[in-house]
Amino acid sequence: MSDVSMIIDGERRAAPATFGVVNPATGAVHADAPDCSREQLDEAFAAAAKAFTDWRRDEDARRAALRQASAALRGAVDRIAPVLTAEQGKPLKAARGEANGASYWLNYFAELPLQREVIQDDERARAEVVRRPVGVVAAITPWNFPVMLAAWKIGPALLAGNTMVLKPSPFTPRSTLLMAEVLAEVLPPGVLNVVSGGDELGRWMTAHPVPRKISFTGSVATGKHIAASAAPDLKRVTLELGGNDAAILLDDVNPAEITERLFSGAFTNSGQVCSAIKRLYVPQRLHGDVVDALATRAAAARVGDGMDPQTELGPVQNRPQFDRVRELVAEALAGGAKAATGGAPIDGPGYFFQPTILAGATEGTRIVDEEQFGPALPVIPYRDVDEVVARANGTMYGLSGSVWSADPDRALAVADRLDCGTAWVNTHIALGPHQPFGGVKWSGIGVENGPWGLAAYTDIQVQYVAKN
Ligand code: NAD
């Protein structure tokens, strides 16, 4: 039996089987998690459907419960963070930041108003647009920010009056299960059910007749399967998918001044951020300087076990992802790119890869055209702004992007031309609960966060009162 439980109808539940969870810093199984059966999933959806009847009725009670949930999570940061580091790999400080962030997000949604709008009030009628919950939500999360991304879904879905069955990634189930145990102390039974298992469990969830909405964060490939699985039943979907973000430096930047921000935009969470810088476009004249500055910074980064307080970058989270990063970098090098620093795995156990800066990789190379999702960044020269905008947009991804300049207005004019959900100026990965986040093209459908993200967990009802 696993030392962590699923939460179904407010109760801790073991599963008939368990599966092993690997610590990426060692490459060895360090713990296990329950493997939810089909019957247990049915029970979880039945509990969510039952709880929906009461939960949807009292908005004040939901706000109070979310405030309590936020406080309970804040109180459990020290318990959750080491579990998150052990399974995900990120430095303990970042794991604490993630758990605190999740608490902050829940508190934001506890206070966010639900929209109502009077659209007509005249001699004929009074008509008001109100927001109603969609019902039971099936939520599925990835392995890069399991705790934070769960909160991005739980906060707005529950505030709007929905109930939920949530499944974390099989690579990082334990921190979310622990979070669920903490939240179960303050939420009514059945409102938030958390189950764990493999991809098959995700498929059962999206095909299940009870949920009316699927909220998914993960890869483009899975997102397409989920859209197809939702279609026959016309379930609503929010899909937060992968990115291949371009950052574009304009010719007036001072490389020394922005190196640190560029490095963190690309290498935070060891590059495993959907909206990390994945391609860096630099004017030809500055290319050498930028490559050198980033290589010096990357070479100085301390890579190691997240439990070591000195660690700045943890391992790649799992073996398939580690193999993919290794393959994409090796392919670029074989095609003529040069590693200004890094370029190879780090010897020893665990999925550690050297922070890598590549010069000479360009479009047509997979590490430029696809999402690498790891600690390796291609730095690509360009000649003029029209050309670089076309190259940045010349992809089916469209999550976010950034433009960097000594003149923010000039940068903003270029950012305005990027086809993506968030366009930053002089920064990258600046996010907040008030800020709608989502992608265009293959990077997703819909947004999370802010009133727009909350609206995605509602259906509109027009309440029309005739006056005569
Ligand atoms: P993934 O798509 O492999 O898995 C995500 C989740 O989906 C897991 O819980 C998995 O078990 C489940 N799943 C897999 N196949 C399924 C299916 N057919 N039906 C239902 N569920 C299924 O993604 P991942 O490798 O865990 O995460 C990395 C990806 O997530 C990257 O592409 C990254 O860019 C993306 N991501 C996007 C955002 C965003 O907000 N846009 C945020 C974080 C990560």
Domain containing residue 251: 245-432
**Spatial distance between the Cα atoms of 395 and 370, rounded to a whole number of angstroms:** 9
For residue 207, the model assigns a pLDDT of 98
Asked if the structure places residue 448 within a domain, the reply is no
Query: For a pLDDT cut of 70, what percent of the chain falls above it?
Result: 100
Asked if the structure places residue 147 within a domain, the reply is yes
118: its two tokens: 């009077």
Asked if the structure places residue 214 within a domain, the reply is yes
For residues 182 and 300, state if they share a domain. no
Residues of the chain with pLDDT under 50: none
For residues 308 and 419, state if they share a domain. yes
Cβ of 152 closer than 6 Å to ligand 1, yes or no, is no
Radius of gyration over every alpha carbon of the chain, rounded to an integer in angstroms: 23
Place of tokens 């303990």: 92
Asked if the structure places residue 456 within a domain, the reply is no
For residue 468, the model assigns a pLDDT of 81
Burial environment of residue 449 by CB neighbours within 10 A (0 to 12, 13 to 18, 19 or more): buried
For residues 46 and 106, state if they share a domain. yes
Whether the Cβ atoms of residue 354 and residue 377 lie closer than 8 Å to each other: no
Alpha helices per DSSP H over 24-173:
38-55, 59-75, 77-88, 92-111, 146-159
Span from the CA of 219 to the centroid of ligand 1 (angstroms): 4
For residue 2, the model assigns a pLDDT of 87
Query: For a pLDDT cut of 90, what percent of the chain falls above it?
Result: 99
Asked if the structure places residue 452 within a domain, the reply is no
Residue 300 belongs to domain with CATH number: 3.40.309.10
Cβ of 85 closer than 6 Å to ligand 1, yes or no, is no
Asked if the structure places residue 166 within a domain, the reply is yes
Cα→Cα distances 63→5, 113, 184, 434, 439, Å? 26, 10, 16, 17, 29
Cα→Cα distances 133→58, 159, 309, 399, 461, Å? 12, 9, 44, 27, 10
For residues 139 and 234, state if they share a domain. yes
Buried b (16+ CB within 10 A) or exposed e, 163-181: bbbbbbbbbbbbbbbbbbb
Q: Per the structure, how many domains does the chain have? A: 2
Which ligand 1 atom is the nearest neighbour of the CA of 152? 40
Residues acting as catalytic residues:
240, 274
For residues 219 and 324, state if they share a domain. no
Q: Dump pLDDT digits (tens) for 227-246.
A: 999 999 999 999 999 999 99
For residues 338 and 266, state if they share a domain. yes
459: its two tokens: 């259906």
For residue 182, the model assigns a pLDDT of 98
Which ligand 1 atom is the nearest neighbour of the CA of 439? 41
Can you state the angle between helices 38-55 and 199-207, rounded to 10 degrees? 50
Atom 9 in ligand 1: which residue has the minimum CA distance?
A: 169
Cβ of 372 closer than 6 Å to ligand 1, yes or no, is no
For residue 1, the model assigns a pLDDT of 73
For residues 21 and 162, state if they share a domain. yes
* DSSP-assigned letter for residue 269: G
Burial environment of residue 434 by CB neighbours within 10 A (0 to 12, 13 to 18, 19 or more): exposed
